[in-house]
Amino acid sequence: MTDTGHDTTLQLAGRRLREERERCGLRLEQAARELGVDRSVLSRVENGERGLDSILLRRAAALYEIPMDRFFEEADRGLVVKARDASGDTTAATEMAAWVQRKLDELRFVREEIARLGE
């Protein structure tokens, strides 16, 4: 955090990258392997200690199934989806919650695009 209390672009992008990785249920090692980078590189990016280039940004957006600009926006913390099945197993419920979150993200993106078109 800076003295003003606001994230720098580097810190924001790194934090959002971590949030999206966690939302998708990936460990740092798994995400790094999928993104084609070393675990330490991804860790430094997520901690705001290293920038991310356009290739890593595109790969991450594809892996996390989000538009690239999402890494530069504050996360919407208005809704948290959690669920479990009757046995207490959270595997299927976690997948369902991730699906619901993706649908909510898509809806928000469409609303933003509509708003931009109306400007």
3-state secondary structure of 49: coil
Task: Please report the pLDDT score of residue 77 as a whole number.
Answer: 53
If pLDDT is split at 50, 70 and 90, which confidence band does 2 have? Answer: very low
Model's pTM, two decimal places? 0.58
17 and 50 share one domain: yes
Segment 70-92, tens digit of pLDDT: 888 776 555 455 555 566 666 76
* C-alpha radius of gyration, the chain, whole number: 16
CATH number, domain of 29, equals: 1.10.260.40
**Which of 42, 57, 75 lies at the terminal end of a domain, its last residue?**
75
If pLDDT is split at 50, 70 and 90, which confidence band does 103 have? Answer: confident
Domain that holds residue 56: 1-75
- CA–CA separation, 107 vs 100, rounded Å? 11
Task: Please report the pLDDT score of residue 88 as a whole number.
Answer: 64
